[in-house]
Amino acid sequence: MYTFGVHEHINAVLKEHQVDVAGEDNSFYTRFLADTSAIFELYLQLYEHHPAAEQLFNDVIVTIIKAYQQRSAVLKQRDQSKLQQEHWFLSNKINGMSLYVDRFCGNLQNMQTKLDYFEELGVNFLHLMPVFESPANESDGGYAVSNFRKVDERFGTLEDLQQLQEEMRRRDMYLMLDIVLNHTSHKHEWAEKAKQGIKQYQDYFYFYSDRSLPDQYDKTMPEIFPESSPGNFTYIEECNKWVMTVFHHYQWDLNYTNPLVFIEMLDTIFFYANLGVDILRIDAPAFIWKQLGTTCQNLPQAHALLRLIKQCVQVATPGMAILGEAIVAPKEIMKYFGTDNYTARECDFAYNATHMALQWDMLATGDTKVMLAAQEELLKKPYGTSWITYTRCHDDIGLGYDDSMIEQAGYNAYAHRKFLKDYYSGVHPGSTAIGALFSSNPKTGDARISGSLASLCGLEKALNEKDETAIDLSIQKILLMQAHSFFLGGVPMLFYGDEVGYTNDYTYLQDEGKSYDNRWMHRPLIDWKKNKKTEKKGTVEQIIFDSTKKLLSIRKQVHAVADHSNIVWLTPHNVHVAGYIRQKNGQRLFCVFNFSNSSSFLTWFAFKEKGGAPSVLYDHWSGKKYETGADHEFFVLPPYGFALLEG
């Protein structure tokens, strides 16, 4: 299709748009030339056979140029300074929090008044859950967007968002927003036009005039919300057709085989970049390409699309890193960092969802073997990319790690998963957790888990029973879980409310837009009177807040914690203790975590066998200094205790 030289063509378009290639735009030009072949190759992989491929490639180039030209001088400067640091986002000085603006403090204007709160806690990176327009009661927490560029009135205006971003920038804070790439709300303008029968817009989605193809797709596509939205297609009465809706019936899947969809969404990505987003969270990228006869998840074309987005962003708005929110099996997640020629050239970040779930596995079983079995895969993450590490987020906990990992640890996969589901839904006798099963699928036996960090760690039950010992133990578990994820490598992402121990919130059951989705039980409405208790010594809120703050500040002080792919797991001398070493430039931190409800013993040899035996270890957490003992003597960790030992 494309016969003349692509470089030559791009040069001509740059000229046409008066890009000063030999002057102030030179670094943009250099980046463009460096990435031209990749952009072209990836575009061809996806769209070579499309009848308008050649003309639309030109639109891709123009979109990139316009994005660069519309970028403010301040953001261009910020791009340069980020480019000068080697992978700015690997730093140990970034601590994040994810929150719903309305549930946290009402609206975007109020957010400005809360920036001190984050600074005090040590959080300098905010993930604002979707703030763009989304129909009330059919919003999936904002992940059903009806207008990608209009801030929903509930939150305020675009100006409010811009002002917040500017204030955050003044305070050296980073911002993350979502691009909901996979689908739109059924109320989006494109969907409305499609309903009216306009073919051009029906082609933005996957439309079918009868059930024959949908039935074929359904044979191999898993269901995401089998209880509230079974199947993957929805009948649209207005036009008498079926449309693909992988998530809820009101979320219509965009059709990326149509390059027009790609170009529109690329332009939206740049719109967010030019608002000053530092990390863009690409929602549900595993789903963005569909192919009959497959699960329609993790397809090679989905990776090509992400790579194409990454290269375009790298050229026009290089200060914006990309997080791919793929919550998939360990082997699959690695591919989101890029493979082969695109290693470390796809997503800069992924969620370490496998490890998150494995932390919950360790907490329930008191055993680290399954977690360790998964590490070989997780350690393959390429240098220059990073994880978002976390214990809880707005979503459910999926036990998505491989059966083989469970079996390697000597368990039966079915029985093991059943135990975990029973444990966290509070069914298992002896469980202190109060949670619930989410999206149970009777056909497959699968289920995920809902519940807040505090409730799953036993705080809700302990408070209900006014059991002081159980309260202390649950706080210890909360901190163990947080500490384990904060030091693992990657940017820790707290979930709002967890910094003060919010337990489950059951008011969602009274709200028709939420009652069908029990993930709302762990998305609290912040009560600032409760948060104020952080100022009163001895309250649950104060203990959790101050301890979280201390952990975050230790993270910022110890440079070895930055994610330089520098994690080594300790040999499991004691199956209850998860231990890893973080080391860099002569600094070494031994992080040891006891997932047992009894004290655990670790021989001092455990600290010596990986070389450079330390004679003294300083615990940043307790402030104690230890002289390392003889190889057969023990370092003792209390129930659910942990230590962060430098030496």
Q: Which is nearer to ligand GLC, 247 or 262 (CB)?
A: 247
Angle, alpha carbons 81-308-268 (nearest 5°):
75
Q: How far is the CB of 499 from ligand GLC (least distance, A)?
A: 20
Q: Which is nearer to ligand GLC, 284 or 405 (CB)?
A: 284
- The one segment of 135-143, 304-312, 345-353, 522-530 that binds ligand GLC by CB under 6 A: 135-143
Quick check: 140 binds ligand GLC (CB under 6 A)?
Answer: yes
Long-range residue pairs from 164-172, CB within 8 A, at least 24 positions apart, any chain: 164/108, 164/109, 164/111, 164/112, 165/275, 165/276, 166/276, 167/112, 167/115, 168/115, 168/126, 169/74, 169/78, 169/276, 171/115, 171/119, 171/124, 172/124
- By CB under 6 A, the count of residues binding ligand GLC is 10
Q: Can you point out the beta strands (E) in 383-522?
A: 386-389, 436-441, 446-450, 491-495
Q: How far is the CB of 446 from ligand GLC (least distance, A)?
A: 16
Per-residue contact flags (x/-) with ligand GLC for residues 303 to 332, judged by CB under 6 A: ----------------------x-------
Q: Count CA atoms closer than 13 A to 491's CA, side-chain side.
A: 31
Residue type present at position 545: F
Of the residues 283, 446, 499, 619, only one is catalytic, namely: 283
Q: How far is the CB of 102 from ligand GLC (least distance, A)?
A: 15
**Residue 219's Cα: distance from chain center in Å?**
29
Q: Which is nearer to ligand GLC, 122 or 451 (CB)?
A: 451
Burial class from Cβ neighbours inside 10 Å (0-12, 13-18, 19+) for residue 260 reads middle
Helix or strand holding residue 453 (H, E) = helix 453-456
Q: Of 361-400, which residues contact ligand GLC (CB under 6 A)?
A: 394-395
Q: Of 164-193, which residues contact ligand GLC (CB under 6 A)?
A: 180
Under 8 Å between Cβ of 533 and 542: yes
Among 96, 141, 319, 647, binds ligand GLC (CB under 6 A): 141
CA R_g for the chain: 25
Angle, alpha carbons 226-230-233 (nearest 5°):
140
Q: Of 142-161, which residues contact ligand GLC (CB under 6 A)?
A: 143
Q: Count CA atoms closer than 13 A to 80's CA, side-chain side.
A: 11
Angle, alpha carbons 85-304-180 (nearest 5°):
80
Under 8 Å between Cβ of 321 and 348: yes
Tokens of 265: 């969404």
Closest CA to 435 of 344, 360, 365, 494: 360
Of the residues 140, 152, 253, 325, only one is catalytic, namely: 325
Q: Report the distance separating Cα 230 and Cα 235, nearest Å.
A: 13
Q: Report the distance separating Cα 284 and Cα 455, nearest Å.
A: 27
Quick check: 302 binds ligand GLC (CB under 6 A)?
Answer: no
Q: Of 246-265, which residues contact ligand GLC (CB under 6 A)?
A: 247
Q: Which is nearer to ligand GLC, 302 or 551 (CB)?
A: 302
Q: Which is nearer to ligand GLC, 154 or 428 (CB)?
A: 154
Q: How far is the CB of 438 from ligand GLC (least distance, A)?
A: 11
Which residue number places its CB atom closest to ligand GLC?
143
Coil, helix or strand at residue 262 = helix
Cα→Cα distances 125→287, 498, 523, 630, Å: 27, 16, 19, 43
- The one segment of 12-20, 136-144, 336-344, 470-478 that binds ligand GLC by CB under 6 A: 136-144
Q: How far is the CB of 260 from ligand GLC (least distance, A)?
A: 22
Q: How many beta carbons lie within 10 A of that of residue 286, not counting itself? A: 23
Quick check: 451 binds ligand GLC (CB under 6 A)?
Answer: no
- The one segment of 140-148, 354-362, 523-531, 596-604 that binds ligand GLC by CB under 6 A: 140-148
Q: How far is the CB of 91 from ligand GLC (least distance, A)?
A: 25
Q: Which is nearer to ligand GLC, 140 or 377 (CB)?
A: 140
Q: Which is nearer to ligand GLC, 329 or 567 (CB)?
A: 329
Q: Which is nearer to ligand GLC, 345 or 519 (CB)?
A: 519
Q: Which is nearer to ligand GLC, 57 or 256 (CB)?
A: 256
- The one segment of 85-93, 138-146, 405-413, 467-475 that binds ligand GLC by CB under 6 A: 138-146
Q: Tell me if residue 283 is catalytic.
A: yes
Q: Can you point out the beta strands (E) in 258-410?
A: 279-283, 321-325, 349-351, 386-389
Helix or strand holding residue 357 (H, E) = helix 353-365
- Which sign does the torsion angle of CA 388, 394, 395, 397 carry? positive
Q: How far is the CB of 353 from ligand GLC (least distance, A)?
A: 10
Q: How far is the CB of 404 from ligand GLC (least distance, A)?
A: 25
Main-chain dihedrals φ then ψ at residue 591, nearest 5 degrees = -110, 115
Q: Of 262-291, which residues contact ligand GLC (CB under 6 A)?
A: 283-284
Q: How far is the CB of 345 from ligand GLC (least distance, A)?
A: 24
Residues that bind ligand GLC in the complex, under the rule CB under 6 A? 140-141, 143, 180, 247, 283-284, 325, 394-395
Catalytic positions:
283, 325
